[in-house]
Chain A
Amino acid sequence: MNTSYLNLIPNQIASLGDLIVSPFVSRYDWKRHIEHSQLPTAIKRVVSTVIKSTRLMRIEKSQVAQELLAHFEDGIQRNKSETELVDDFGDPKVAASLIRNSKLKGRSMFTKIFRGGLWSLLAAIAIYVGLYAYFHAAKPNPSTDYTIELNANIQKTSAADRAWNVYRDVWTKFEFGNEQADSPGQFKEIYYKNRDSNQDGRLMLPTDGAQWDLAVKKLDDSRELLDAFRLGGTRPSFGFELHTDLSQYSAEDIAALFPHYQGRAKDENDFNEVDRTLDRSLVGILLPHIQAMRSAARILHVDTRYALSQGDTERATQDIEAVFGMAHQVTDSQFLICSLVGFAIHNIGCEMVGESLRSPDGHFDREQLARIQTAVGKHSMKEFISFESERLMVKDMIQRLYSDNGKGDGRLTADGMNVYQQFTSSFYTNQPQGTNWVEHIALGLGQPLTLLTAASRKQMSDKADEIQNLIDENFHKPLYTKDVVDVETYKADLDDKFFLIKAFLPATMSLRSAVFRAETEQSAAQIVVAAYLYKMDNGEFPETLGQLVGKYLRSAPIDPFDGQPLRYKRTAEHFVVYSIGGDQFDDGGIPVLVSSYTPTRAATADEIENGNARPQRRGEIRYELNPSVKGDIELWPRAADDE
């Protein structure tokens, strides 16, 4: 470049251009300048030593080199000897140090910022590379098989107490585990088909004409399966040991529960390491029997109607007993989803009891009523809910995401983060993995930074234990007690470094409503059966709840909203049972009215007056304190649930 032209360019721009291109342009190659000069070798060596020792930028070295070469050339031109010039110049190292200091002082602010930024960038890259290597060096080493702990209780159960031994073969025969919509195991015939809709509706009733006939035929054709349900339903345990790896199930179990499973050999080829890790974690455990048991309860519900229409109260009693047994059986595995399905099945049982007692065909004898009463109250609803498997699930996930230093601690690993991302992606967003390579790279590059932000293995484990303890301390506190720690808010407010807990520990406290609902429904059913027993002995229903306590009820069932006995009122022909509800005020059994348009809120006075209000349905009721929910919860007589 022409020098005079260079001088016309503003300094900053020239500096920027020179700074950027100087490492690549031969014009700034100071070694070449020295090499090409005509100076004696000794002088060249001095210049070279000085320049090298300055440790300046290449462009600065080039400038200084040219000036020193000109200096010595001037000396030679004035007939100075090589030795004189070298001596007059002085110590090259001292010169280099002085030149360096003066040049550093002379650098423009722009150059300082540019260089500072460059060095910071290089330092950041170096730190990142180190972090990346450190992050990828650690591998998770899952050493505990939590399925052993998970199955411990089931393993203690004798073969004779396991319902699965009764269900399994007949289950396979009737394709009960086949989840395909057109499978005969789906028992579509028991659901009322609305002509205006393709959706399966409520359970079939004897008044449904031709559709009822088809349902009845299906039940008759499936007599062997229903017998197995009735027999198995009386056993104390489902007795099904869970495995993360399907290949660990017996061929008979596979045939019954996973009829479409093609075998591990085929799947292995399709699985990557992340899938395999998830597949083998407790999170990946499949529970196909849970929803199947719910279907079984519905089948028995319809069969109860069928039995009563045939005057077969014994079969109806057995159906009811089996459903309550099934409700308890599904909670064997102690996953929260099992508890929820257990409550649902128990509720089906309560509905069957109420419906059967009110039925004109419900001529149960005393012994049958007593058996029904026993079945209703056999298990505390608190027994149904357990957080044990959720706790194990978090522990298992920690061991699959973190390395293990042998002392209970470790750090987050790359493999672990891939598993976590796959999990959150599949469970929360349902997005397929690996389709967006930009996102894939961004996620991959960002992963090592989690080492700086995520909790260590020990911190994560300790926090999980702390929250578990909080849940244990607060979950079963009475509903009317106000000093309940809001664990969900506590969890939501946790630092993001406990991301695993936020993702894996479910919103357990919100399940309190489900437990109180199940307990209250159970209590009401106990009162109702006791009242019918009372009537059998005394010719009419009791005037007060107190008359049932002793011979018919061990104690008066409690209203969860105030700890007092559930409200019982004798009517002309019958009786009502109700709870005072979330406002903790006894409205005499008048139900909560909700807006027909927006059932999530209480109806306004205008809506009530204009007929745009309706009683709150059972499924809509929240068992929680709420002064704004005016009205009570009707428990008996109960309308059929909205299926």
Chain B
Amino acid sequence: MKLERELMRGAGPTAVMQLLSSGEMYGYQIVESLAAHSKGVFEMGQSTLYPMLYNLEAKGLVSSTNKPGPNGRERRYYRLTAAGRKRLEQDRQQWLALIEGLGALGVHRSVSPLAWKLSGGLT
């Protein structure tokens, strides 16, 4: 299942930051990881990923460096900054609160895998 655009806009950056919290990654790697670890939920149009990364970089939450990858080709690697880590923690708290709120309303019966991942399941 894919997320609606508006939901993706809110959750996408948190998901990307969560991935980068484990180490630096380049664009295609992020696309693959999102698809693989979110069971397709965050399988986004790839054209959306790069603007999202540029936005996070503009906000100082991630930084990027050009360097050669394992095959020798140069790629742009993104990593989470200290500000990004702080922001990720805040986002995580907010998502948990949201999920709990939705649970109390009976929107879902148990904590979803996504909520589990966002609350630190991937780390």
Interface residues of chain A, those whose CB is within 8 Å of chain B, are: 3-4, 7, 50, 63-64, 66-68, 70-71, 73-75, 77-78, 88-92, 94-95, 98-99, 101-103, 105-106
In the complex, what residue of chain B is closest to A77 when comparing beta carbons?
B71
Does residue B45 face the partner (Cβ distance < 8 Å to A)?
yes
Q: Which residues of chain B come closer than 8 Å to A103, judged between CB atoms? A: 54
Does residue B65 face the partner (Cβ distance < 8 Å to A)?
yes
Smallest beta-carbon distance B69→chain A, Å: 8
Q: Do the beta carbons of B48 and A70 come within 8 Å of each other?
A: no
Q: Do the beta carbons of B26 and A90 come within 8 Å of each other?
A: no
Q: Do the beta carbons of B26 and A99 come within 8 Å of each other?
A: no
Q: Do the beta carbons of B66 and A105 come within 8 Å of each other?
A: no
Smallest beta-carbon distance B102→chain A, Å: 29
**Measured between alpha carbons, how far is A94 from B47 in the docked complex, in Å?**
8
Given A71-B28, A74-B27, 16 other A-B contacts at CB below 8 A?
A: A7-B65, A63-B76, A66-B76, A67-B27, A68-B50, A70-B28, A74-B26, A78-B32, A90-B45, A91-B45, A92-B47, A95-B47, A95-B48, A98-B48, A99-B54, A105-B54
Does residue B24 face the partner (Cβ distance < 8 Å to A)?
no
Question: Among the listed B28, B58, B65, B66, which residue makes an inter-chain contact with A74, where contact means beta carbons less than 8 Å apart?
Answer: B28
Known contacts A7-B65, A70-B26, A74-B28; A102/B48 CB under 8 A: no
Please report the total number of B residues contacting A with Cβ < 8 Å: 25
Does residue B57 face the partner (Cβ distance < 8 Å to A)?
yes
Does residue B90 face the partner (Cβ distance < 8 Å to A)?
no
* Main DSSP-derived SS at the A contact region: helix
Smallest beta-carbon distance B14→chain A, Å: 17
**Measured between alpha carbons, how far is A340 from B116 in the docked complex, in Å?**
105
- Interface positions of B from 70 to 99, Cβ below 8 Å from A: 71, 73-76
Q: Do the beta carbons of B58 and A64 come within 8 Å of each other?
A: no
Q: Which residues of chain B come closer than 8 Å to A71, judged between CB atoms? A: 27-28, 31, 46, 50
Interface residues of chain B, those whose CB is within 8 Å of chain A, are: 26-29, 31-32, 45-48, 50-52, 54-55, 57-58, 65-67, 71, 73-76
Q: Do the beta carbons of B28 and A98 come within 8 Å of each other?
A: no
Q: Do the beta carbons of A70 and B75 come within 8 Å of each other?
A: yes
Known contacts A67-B76, A74-B28; A88/B54 CB under 8 A: no
Known contacts A89-B47, A99-B50; A105/B55 CB under 8 A: yes
Smallest beta-carbon distance B101→chain A, Å: 30
Question: Among the listed B45, B51, B73, which residue makes an inter-chain contact with A70, where contact means beta carbons less than 8 Å apart?
Answer: B73
Q: Do the beta carbons of B27 and A90 come within 8 Å of each other?
A: no
In the complex, what residue of chain A is closest to B45 when comparing beta carbons?
A90
Instruction: Pick the most buried of A78, A90, A92: most chain B CB atoms within 10 A of its CB.
Output: A90
**Measured between alpha carbons, how far is A75 from B76 in the docked complex, in Å?**
15
In the complex, what residue of chain A is closest to B66 when comparing beta carbons?
A3
Contact sample, A vs B, 10 pairs, CB 8 Å cutoff: A50-B47, A66-B76, A70-B28, A71-B27, A71-B28, A74-B28, A88-B45, A89-B45, A94-B45, A99-B50
In the complex, what residue of chain A is closest to B51 when comparing beta carbons?
A98
**Measured between alpha carbons, how far is A624 from B65 in the docked complex, in Å?**
86
Smallest beta-carbon distance A93→chain B, Å: 10
**Measured between alpha carbons, how far is A7 from B76 in the docked complex, in Å?**
13
Smallest beta-carbon distance B83→chain A, Å: 14
Q: Which residues of chain A come closer than 8 Å to B45, judged between CB atoms? A: 88-91, 94-95
Q: Which residues of chain A come closer than 8 Å to B73, judged between CB atoms? A: 70, 73
**Measured between alpha carbons, how far is A105 from B67 in the docked complex, in Å?**
24
**Measured between alpha carbons, how far is A106 from B46 in the docked complex, in Å?**
20
In the complex, what residue of chain B is closest to A85 when comparing beta carbons?
B46
Smallest beta-carbon distance A86→chain B, Å: 10
Q: Which 3 pairs between the two chains have the least Cβ-Cβ distance? A: A95-B47, A90-B45, A106-B58
Q: Which residues of chain A come closer than 8 Å to B71, judged between CB atoms? A: 77
**Measured between alpha carbons, how far is A64 from B27 in the docked complex, in Å?**
11
In the complex, what residue of chain B is closest to A100 when comparing beta carbons?
B51
In the complex, what residue of chain A is closest to B57 when comparing beta carbons?
A106
In the complex, what residue of chain B is closest to A50 when comparing beta carbons?
B47
Q: Do the beta carbons of A91 and B54 come within 8 Å of each other?
A: no
Q: Which residues of chain B come closer than 8 Å to A50, judged between CB atoms? A: 47
In the complex, what residue of chain A is closest to B68 when comparing beta carbons?
A3
Known contacts A67-B76, A74-B28; A90/B46 CB under 8 A: yes
**Measured between alpha carbons, how far is A102 from B73 in the docked complex, in Å?**
25
In the complex, what residue of chain A is closest to B32 when comparing beta carbons?
A78
**Measured between alpha carbons, how far is A240 from B40 in the docked complex, in Å?**
106
Smallest beta-carbon distance B119→chain A, Å: 28
Smallest beta-carbon distance A284→chain B, Å: 68
**Measured between alpha carbons, how far is A74 from B47 in the docked complex, in Å?**
15
**Measured between alpha carbons, how far is A66 from B51 in the docked complex, in Å?**
15
Q: Do the beta carbons of A102 and B28 come within 8 Å of each other?
A: no
Q: Which residues of chain A come closer than 8 Å to B75, judged between CB atoms? A: 67, 70, 74
Smallest beta-carbon distance A109→chain B, Å: 12
Q: Do the beta carbons of A90 and B47 come within 8 Å of each other?
A: yes
**Measured between alpha carbons, how far is A4 from B51 in the docked complex, in Å?**
24
Known contacts A88-B45, A98-B48; A70/B54 CB under 8 A: no
**Measured between alpha carbons, how far is A95 from B31 in the docked complex, in Å?**
15
Q: Do the beta carbons of B50 and A95 come within 8 Å of each other?
A: yes
**Measured between alpha carbons, how far is A63 from B55 in the docked complex, in Å?**
15
Q: Do the beta carbons of B27 and A102 come within 8 Å of each other?
A: no
Q: Which residues of chain B come closer than 8 Å to A3, judged between CB atoms? A: 66-67, 74
Question: Among the listed A4, A91, A101, which residue makes an inter-chain contact with B47, where contact means beta carbons less than 8 Å apart?
Answer: A91
Question: Among the listed B46, B54, B67, which residue makes an inter-chain contact with A102, where contact means beta carbons less than 8 Å apart?
Answer: B54
**Measured between alpha carbons, how far is A3 from B66 in the docked complex, in Å?**
7
Smallest beta-carbon distance B57→chain A, Å: 6
**Measured between alpha carbons, how far is A639 from B24 in the docked complex, in Å?**
108
**Measured between alpha carbons, how far is A447 from B75 in the docked complex, in Å?**
55
Q: Which residues of chain B come closer than 8 Å to A95, judged between CB atoms? A: 45, 47-48, 50-51
Q: Do the beta carbons of A99 and B51 come within 8 Å of each other?
A: yes
In the complex, what residue of chain A is closest to B43 when comparing beta carbons?
A88
Q: Do the beta carbons of B50 and A67 come within 8 Å of each other?
A: yes
Known contacts A3-B74, A70-B26, A106-B58; A89/B46 CB under 8 A: yes
**Measured between alpha carbons, how far is A105 from B53 in the docked complex, in Å?**
12
Q: Which residues of chain B come closer than 8 Å to A75, judged between CB atoms? A: 28
**Measured between alpha carbons, how far is A71 from B45 in the docked complex, in Å?**
13
In the complex, what residue of chain B is closest to A101 when comparing beta carbons?
B51
Q: Do the beta carbons of A102 and B47 come within 8 Å of each other?
A: no
**Measured between alpha carbons, how far is A98 from B44 in the docked complex, in Å?**
14
In the complex, what residue of chain B is closest to A72 when comparing beta carbons?
B28
Q: Do the beta carbons of B74 and A102 come within 8 Å of each other?
A: no
Instruction: Pick the most buried of A50, A73, A78, A102: most chain B CB atoms within 10 A of its CB.
Output: A102
Q: Which residues of chain B come closer than 8 Å to A78, judged between CB atoms? A: 28, 32
**Measured between alpha carbons, how far is A90 from B51 in the docked complex, in Å?**
13
Smallest beta-carbon distance B95→chain A, Å: 23
**Measured between alpha carbons, how far is A70 from B66 in the docked complex, in Å?**
11
Q: Which residues of chain B come closer than 8 Å to A74, judged between CB atoms? A: 26-29, 75
**Measured between alpha carbons, how far is A310 from B80 in the docked complex, in Å?**
121
Q: Do the beta carbons of A102 and B66 come within 8 Å of each other?
A: no
**Measured between alpha carbons, how far is A73 from B71 in the docked complex, in Å?**
11
